[in-house]
């Protein structure tokens, strides 16, 4: 494991897996043994369907850390959070919303730079030929959310409705959770739902990667800029060697050929150290609706 040895995490791969499963199921921590590989959690906030991208990322981190790396994918934010919070993952690319909810238990590692800024927006989308142009027009529609732990895919719209003293179940005729921003676009494009709440960064990037699918949808509302989904680790692992190395690898990504390829695929400019205040807007929304959710 080289430099990444940490007295707090002496776990073998096998016992890690057992422990991870046990924790996921029972929600309790097991005794930590030295890990032989670094684990990097991914959520659907990221374009996790691109196999080549995952392979490149894995290879880049492996070369940068001189250590085996394992990308851990789960269907929901909740599953990743349940692994991240107890330190069963070294780091994970999460969303701003879970971050603000678990701020005390988490530590920010890095924030991606999109179009030069660590910011993104949330979009409300409808089918291209839909007559709807405002949120008000979506009343009585069927609506697709991404994940109940997603900022752009749920919280932003939920907050807008709360401002109208409305709730999704009453405002919309039917709501579904697709557990992925790409799936929200698919649901709206296919006509399964009339509208959807989606990550603006994902929608923008998919305009290039899957133009036909995205062209079937239309953005009717963009939120103000918010903190881009960050890479975070459990607070208790904040200053570990592994965390430091991962942070450094991410910060240097734009300097490396493979790293540049990854960033190009992700349409990102690079990573910068995270500023917790980036997520104040999200935190405010969360505070506003906390009692309602």
Partner 1 sequence: MSQSIHPFDWPLSFKVPLLVGALMVLLGGVVSNAVLLQLSNTQENHIRHLSEAYLNGVSSAVLPHVLRSDVWESFDVLDRARSQYGGLYVKNTVIALNDNTILAASNPVLFPTDNLIPQMLNELFEDGKVLVIDEIKGNAWMRQILREDGHEIGNIYAEVDISEQLKIRRNTLYTLIAFTMAMTLLMAGLGYALVSRMLRPLSVLGDHVNAIADGDITDIDEATIPRRKGEFHRLMKRFNAMAQALRDRETLSQRLAEEEKLAILGKLASGMAHEVNNPLGGMGNAIDTIRKHGDDDQVRNRSLDILERGLDGIAKVTQATLATYKGSGKADHLTRRDLEDIEFLVHHKITRRQIDLKWRNETPSKIQVDASVTRQIVLNLLLNACEASPKGGQLHFHASVPNDHLVIVVEDQGPGIPDAVAAQLKGENMSVLSQDRHGLGAWTVGTLLKRLGGHIDIQTQGVGQTQGAGTKLTVLLPLDHEVGAQHAIA
Residue 127 vs 285, nearer CB to partner 1: 127
Residue 184 Cβ, how far from partner 1 at the closest point, in Å?
Answer: 9
Residue 3 vs 190, nearer CB to partner 1: 190
Residue 186 Cβ, how far from partner 1 at the closest point, in Å?
Answer: 7
Residue 263 Cβ, how far from partner 1 at the closest point, in Å?
Answer: 29
In the DSSP assignment, the letter for residue 222 is E
Q: Are strands 195-199 and 142-145 parallel, antiparallel or unpaired?
A: parallel
Residues that bind partner 1 (CB under 8 A): 142, 144, 174, 176-179, 183, 186-187, 190-193
Which string of DSSP letters, residue by residue, matches 91-124? EEE--HHHHHHTGGGEEEEEEEEBTTBSEE-EEE
Residue 157 vs 247, nearer CB to partner 1: 157
- Please check whether residue 118 is in contact with residue 228, taking contact to mean a CB–CB distance below 8 angstroms: yes
Q: Token pair of 151, please?
A: 């900022």
Cα-based distances in Å from 171 to 9, 157, 164, 194, 207? 47, 11, 10, 13, 29
Residue 191 vs 273, nearer CB to partner 1: 191
Residue 173 vs 244, nearer CB to partner 1: 173
Residue 179 Cβ, how far from partner 1 at the closest point, in Å?
Answer: 7
CA–CA dist 219, 228 (Å, integer): 19
């Amino acid at each position: 494991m080289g430099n990444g040895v940490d007295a707090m995490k002496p776990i073998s791969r096998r016992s890690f897996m057992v422990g991870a499963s046990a924790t996921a199921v029972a929600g309790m921590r097991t005794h930590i043994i030295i890990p032989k590989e670094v684990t990097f959690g991914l959520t659907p906030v990221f374009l996790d369907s691109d196999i080549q991208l995952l392979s490149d990322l894995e290879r880049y981190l492996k070369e940068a850390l001189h250590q085996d790396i394992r990308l851990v994918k789960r269907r929901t934010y909740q599953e990743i959070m349940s692994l991240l919070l107890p330190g069963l993952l070294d780091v994970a690319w999460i969303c701003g919303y879970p971050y603000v909810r678990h701020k005390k238990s988490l530590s920010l590692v890095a924030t991606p730079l999109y179009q030069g800024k660590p910011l993104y927006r949330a979009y409300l989308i409808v089918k291209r030929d839909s007559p709807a142009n405002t949120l008000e027009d979506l009343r009585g529609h069927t609506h697709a959310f991404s994940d109940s732990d997603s900022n752009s895919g749920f919280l932003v719209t939920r907050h807008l409705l709360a401002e109208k003293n409305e709730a999704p179940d009453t405002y919309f005729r039917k709501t579904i959770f697709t557990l992925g921003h790409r799936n929200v676009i698919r649901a709206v494009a296919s006509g399964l739902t009339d509208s959807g709440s989606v990550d603006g960064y994902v929608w923008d990037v998919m305009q290039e990667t899957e133009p036909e699918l995205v062209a079937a949808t239309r953005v009717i509302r963009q939120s103000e800029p918010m903190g881009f989904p960050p890479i975070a680790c459990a607070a208790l692992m904040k200053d570990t060697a592994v965390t430091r190395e991962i942070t450094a690898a991410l910060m240097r990504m734009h300097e490396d050929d493979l790293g540049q390829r990854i960033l190009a695929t992700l349409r990102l400019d690079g990573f910068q150290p995270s500023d917790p205040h980036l997520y104040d807007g999200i935190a405010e929304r969360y505070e506003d609706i906390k009692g309602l959710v």
